[in-house]
A and B are shown apart, each in its own frame.
Chain A
Amino acid sequence: MSGTFTKSMARNIFYGGTAFFFLLFLALTFDTNQALPKRDNSANLTPQVIAGKKIWETRNCIGCHTLLGEGAYFAPELGNVYVRRGPDFIKAWIQAQPTGTPGRRQMPQFHLTDEELDNIVAFLKYTSEINTANWPPNIEG
């Protein structure tokens, strides 16, 4: 920080640098949006999947589980649960909660209808088919 480097130079570099990198970020975002349809499985975004996503959200599943690695770390990763467990197991599991095993982590009972269960399974199937660059490392999530 010599005397030749003034505050107004620092300020100009700040505004210039920020503007440049924000524009670069926008450009990358634009490109990402162009490239997404090949990876994001959006072709399979059926009304059932959309309804399932809403159930996922309104039951605050992310408050315990991770989905593609994001969320809480209290309960298993569900991005690949469709592959790990299959549809019937998922439905039976949700219906059987809470297990009531003393000392074990408990999942609430959400009283989902059969249709809602099918929706959430459809959402988890759609999620499992997103191209995640081979994440997670193995089936356990």
Chain B
Amino acid sequence: MQYKSQAVAKPYFVAAIGLFVGQIVFGLIMGLQYVVGDFLFPALPFNVARMVHTNLLIVWLLFGFMGAAYYMVPEESETELYSPKLALAMFWVFLVAGALTIVGYLFVPYATLAQMTGNDILATMGREFLEQPLLTKIGIVVVALVFLFNISMTMLKGRKTAISMVLLLGLWGLAIFFLFSFYNPHNLVKDKYYWWWVVHLWVEGVWELILGALLAFVLIKVTGVDREVIEKWLYVIITLTLVTGIIGTGHHYYWIGAPEYWQWWGSVFSALEPIPFFAMTIFAFNMVNRRRREHPNKAATLWALGTGVMAFLGAGVWGFLHTLAPVNYYTHGSQITAAHGHMAFYGAYVMVVLTLISYAMPILRGRAANSPKAQVLEMWSFWLMTIAMVFITLFLTAAGILQVWLQRISDTPLGFMATQDQVSLFYWMREAAGVMFMIGLVVYIVSFFVKGDKVAEA
């Protein structure tokens, strides 16, 4: 570790992994509820489990992003963090607020929770992914602002690299676009229109800047390739991302009451959205092939390459699959969407956070890399989780194609639930793949506790 204030990243990473486990547990419960409809009902209705599943994902990725920033920015800026104490304080605020929110979801009826937390003053709840009570939303804004202040002040007093600038831009964008979660007009079309300013402009916009910065940072470290080269690639990739992704928001505006020209804008620009992901894959492999050093952390390199490939497949290919308006007319809101969502989030954001953790955690624990034994286990977890996610995606895609056929294309369309019964085999197979994912996650956690011969001192 070059700067001792980088150590504040460690609790962030630990919390991220802990919440990741929670996310997967609830995912398995939901997967079972898809086929055994009354499983855990009424103690845990599906909608509650889903809120916990998706909100935990968002929160643990945010923990991961913040930890990554606290680790990267001192090193990039060549100076200690502006205030490690503030970073640690915000860690606890965020963790406690997050935990209270989840407890609220699980043990208080949602309507009561809304009443208790000021939803009557400003109604923001009950919209997908933005289910958090008003108080939690305000808490997120406070934590984000204090975090950004801390990171920005650190950068201001030190070296300003392209990587840290891109990271900061992504993080500021994240905070700014989250503000649209407070805007909930009565007009449903406007509500949906601006809801995407949080959701789409996060995951297909500013989060990709964060993704690019994290990946570029790790690639510099593990390959030793010249910073100038890597940062040039980074700019090219994020240019492609935002040039395609901003207008690409239009692919959500086809069927929600917005003007129909969005079918053209959305189709054309989002058809180009795979390009930046493809560039990212080429970039990762290219840099690793041109490496000037053999970094002892093989696992981190594997995660970095995996991020490129899986982000391209999940976000790029599976996104393209249903993004053109004439196709989306049939697939919109089906299991195809779910298939894409799973692989895209895993490939892009889960994997990049795990890449950074894989690289940084050994150093935070006082060594350049984990023992070969621990790394082998970590690589096993990589393959288990990644292959499981490929299967989850394939099974959901199969379910989606059948669903679309039976319910929307056939001359004698079946109703929603009748269709669900027809495709239940694929839901069972998805659940089995989910169990495989959980096994991979357990192996991942075990890898942190495996000792073995030390590779090198940090």
Contact = CB atoms under 8 A, between A and B. Distances in A.
Given A105-B37, A108-B42, A140-B407, A21 B246 contact: yes
Contacts of A106: 37-38, 41-42, 45
A11 B34 contact: no
Interface residues of B, number: 79
A83 interface: no
B258 A32 contact: yes
A14 B416 contact: no
Interface stretch (B82-90, B231-239, B293-301): B231-239
Contacts of A72: 46-47, 50, 128
A75 B48 CA distance: 14
A60 interface: yes
Contacts of B329: 135, 137
Contact of B47 (A54, A60, A100): A60
B256 to A, nearest CB: 5
A141 B416 contact: yes
B259 A32 contact: yes
A53 B186 contact: yes
Contact of A130 (B189, B231, B337): B189
Contacts of A33: 190
Interface in B136-157: none
B38 A75 contact: no
A40 B190 contact: yes
Contacts, number: 227
A63 B189 contact: no
A66 B255 CA distance: 12
Contacts of A39: 189, 257-259
A10 B408 contact: no
Contacts of B456: none
B257 A36 contact: yes
Given A39-B257, A106-B41, A137 B408 contact: yes
A131 B257 contact: yes
Interface stretch (B64-72, B118-126, B352-360, B375-383): B118-126
B79 interface: no
B189 A35 contact: no
Interface in B404-433: 407-409, 413-417, 419-420
Interface in A105-133: 105-108, 110, 126-127, 130-133
B239 A140 contact: no
B257 A22 contact: no
A69 interface: yes
Contacts of B48: 60, 63
A10 B126 contact: no
B228 interface: yes
A: interface residue count bin: 35 or more
B334 A73 contact: yes
Contact of A63 (B51, B333, B414): B51
Nearest to B331: A69
Contact of A70 (B114, B256, B417): B256
A57 B123 contact: yes
Interface in B247-264: 247, 249-250, 252-260, 262-263
Interface in A12-56: 13-14, 17-18, 21-22, 24-25, 28-29, 31-33, 35-36, 39-42, 45, 49-50, 53-54, 56
Given A32-B259, A103-B38, A137-B330, 11 more contacts: A11-B235, A28-B265, A40-B257, A60-B48, A60-B110, A70-B252, A72-B128, A105-B37, A130-B256, A135-B255, A136-B332
15 contacts: A13-B235, A14-B242, A31-B259, A35-B259, A39-B189, A57-B123, A58-B126, A63-B128, A70-B128, A72-B50, A106-B42, A130-B257, A131-B257, A140-B414, A140-B419
Interface of B: 30, 33-34, 36-38, 41-42, 45-48, 50-51, 110-111, 114-115, 119, 123, 125-128, 131, 162, 184, 186-190, 192-193, 228-229, 231-233, 235-236, 238-239, 242-243, 246-247, 249-250, 252-260, 262-263, 265, 329-330, 332-335, 337-338, 407-409, 413-417, 419-420
